[in-house]
């Protein structure tokens, strides 16, 4: 396992991190299965575990808490808040009112007195940066969080938050968690240059593109990824953008075969090769998944392999741009761009 410094914090984290989104109802994972996945990850040298209050309505945090009991001090523990947790309008967002409550709820579910990294799951356009950063700074000073970061923020919001922290003499975001994979490379255009400029640690999610890059989606074969059951439109190969992904996957499979790598090793090796990336979040659901994904822990792609990937999916290209989660709200809601 490789280790890298998380931004400018001095904290050393593994180049692969365990994402716990599949723990609980989402991945149909039991506590025993979740604990086995955590055991395997820690044994392989992973020292960062990432979850969120939103995952299975808090069930993921509860499972992580039970799985790490008695060994919490050796783990860099990260969670997230801001996504809706109920139908109540104020049980979401990045206001001081909600973040204080959300963090206390997360600490209770995790069974700990602090988390190492507390992340704003999505940018909240209704809440000013000063409000959010002030609340996070106070929670940090209270010892409930060590550091805080953002997740899936547009590049311009990352910049704005850095300036707001400096202007108001508040603590700043030290990490960003963007989506990034061989098939979704738009992050390279604006987000990664900004995180590098400000020295942020970067934990990338979905490096296996929801199963597209695991070998579970291939031409002429049944689709076996769990995600296809509750996101069928993302795997409907009759749609042009999915057809483009499938074509790219077939060509990438050839590159992997020639290099003597699995598709998973190629995909994870690609994202961790970027100098702006600290760790890639893996989200195994079964022991077979974790074994296959941990096999990429020390994968280093050669220049010719990286060049071959660029020839298939050019730098900065998103093959499914509509699936990005950092689109400015005004592009999605006409009422926000019209008088």
Q: Is residue 311 part of a domain?
A: no
CA 98/CA 106 separation, integer angstroms: 12
State mean pLDDT over 45-69: 97
Q: Is residue 238 part of a domain?
A: no
Work out how many domains the chain is built from and give that number.
1
Q: Is residue 191 part of a domain?
A: yes
Residue 204 pLDDT grade (very low, low, confident, very high; cuts 50, 70, 90): very high
CA 120/CA 126 separation, integer angstroms: 14
State mean pLDDT over 166-189: 97
- pLDDT computed for residue 216 by the predictor: 82
State mean pLDDT over 83-88: 95
Residue 226 pLDDT grade (very low, low, confident, very high; cuts 50, 70, 90): low
- pLDDT computed for residue 146 by the predictor: 98
Among 165-169, 204-208, 328-332, the least confident range: 328-332
Q: For residue 60, what are the domain limits? A: 3-211+268-305+316-336
pTM of this structure: 0.94
- pLDDT computed for residue 141 by the predictor: 98
- pLDDT computed for residue 229 by the predictor: 61
- pLDDT computed for residue 228 by the predictor: 62
CA angle in degrees (0–180, nearest 5) for 214-4-160: 90
CA 242/CA 234 separation, integer angstroms: 7
For 74, which DSSP code? G
Q: Is residue 234 part of a domain?
A: no
Give the three-state DSSP class for 18.
Answer: strand
Q: Is residue 229 part of a domain?
A: no
CA 200/CA 131 separation, integer angstroms: 21
Q: β-pairing, 175-177 with 145-151?
A: parallel
Beta strand spans in 54-160 (E): 76-81, 115-120, 145-151
> What whole-number percentage of the chain has pLDDT above 90?
83
Q: Which residues pair with 151 in a beta bridge?
A: 177
Beta strand spans in 46-151 (E): 48-50, 76-81, 115-120, 145-151
State mean pLDDT over 211-237: 76
CA 68/CA 74 separation, integer angstroms: 9
CATH of the domain at 113: 3.20.20.100
Q: Is residue 245 part of a domain?
A: no
For 281, which DSSP code? E
**Mean pLDDT over each residue of the chain, to the nearest integer:** 94
Q: Is the pLDDT of residue 230 over 80?
A: no
CA 3/CA 137 separation, integer angstroms: 27
86-109 per-position pLDDT tens digit? 999 999 999 999 999 999 999 999
Hunting for tokens 């400000």 — which residue is that?
A: 198
Q: Is residue 12 part of a domain?
A: yes
23 conformational bin, left if phi > 0, alpha if psi -120 to 50, beta if neither: beta
Residue 249 pLDDT grade (very low, low, confident, very high; cuts 50, 70, 90): very high
Alpha carbon distance, N-terminus to C-terminus of the chain: 54
Q: Is the pLDDT of residue 224 over 80?
A: no
State mean pLDDT over 132-136: 98
- pLDDT computed for residue 330 by the predictor: 81
Q: Is the pLDDT of residue 247 over 90?
A: yes
Q: Is residue 220 part of a domain?
A: no
Q: Which sequence positions are flagged as catalytic?
A: 55
Q: Is the pLDDT of residue 280 over 70?
A: yes
Give the three-state DSSP class for 76.
Answer: strand
CA 228/CA 42 separation, integer angstroms: 29
11-42 per-position pLDDT tens digit? 999 999 999 999 999 889 999 999 999 999 99
Residue 256 pLDDT grade (very low, low, confident, very high; cuts 50, 70, 90): very high
């Amino acid at each position: 396992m490789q280790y890298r410094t998380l931004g400018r914090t001095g904290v050393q984290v593994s180049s692969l991190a365990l994402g716990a989104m599949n723990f609980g109802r989402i991945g149909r994972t039991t506590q025993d299965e979740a604990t086995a996945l955590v055991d395997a990850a820690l044994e392989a040298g992973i020292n960062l575990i990432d979850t969120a209050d939103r995952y299975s309505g808090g069930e993921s945090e509860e499972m992580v808490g039970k799985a790490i009991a008695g060994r919490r001090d050796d783990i860099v523990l990260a969670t997230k808040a801001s996504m809706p947790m109920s139908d109540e309008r104020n049980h979401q967002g990045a206001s001081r009112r909600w973040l204080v409550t959300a963090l206390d709820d997360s600490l209770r579910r995790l069974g700990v007195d602090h988390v190492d990294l507390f992340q704003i799951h999505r940018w909240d356009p209704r809440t000013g940066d000063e409000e959010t950063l002030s609340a996070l700074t106070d929670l940090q000073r209270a010892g409930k969080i060590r550091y805080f970061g953002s997740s899936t923020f547009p590049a311009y919001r990352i910049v704005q938050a850095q300036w707001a922290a400096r202007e108001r003499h508040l603590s700043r975001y030290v990490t960003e968690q963007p989506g990034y994979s061989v098939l979704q490379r738009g992050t390279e255009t604006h987000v990664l240059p900004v995180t590098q400029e400000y020295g942020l640690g970067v934990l990338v999610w979905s490096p296996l593109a929801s199963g597209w890059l695991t070998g579970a989606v291939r031409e002429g074969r049944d689709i076996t990824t769990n995600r296809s059951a509750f996101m069928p439109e993302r795997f409907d190969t009759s749609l042009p953008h999915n057809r483009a992904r499938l074509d790219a996957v077939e060509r990438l499979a050839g590159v992997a075969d020639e290099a003597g790598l699995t598709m998973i090793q190629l995909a994870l090796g690609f994202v961790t090769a970027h100098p702006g990336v600290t760790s890639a979040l893996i989200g195994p659901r079964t022991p077979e998944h974790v074994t296959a994904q941990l096999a990429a822990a020390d994968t280093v792609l050669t220049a010719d392999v990286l060049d071959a990937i660029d020839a298939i999916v050019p730098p900065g290209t998103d093959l499914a741009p509509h699936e990005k989660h950092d689109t400015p709200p005004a592009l999605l809601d006409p009422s926000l761009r019209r008088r």
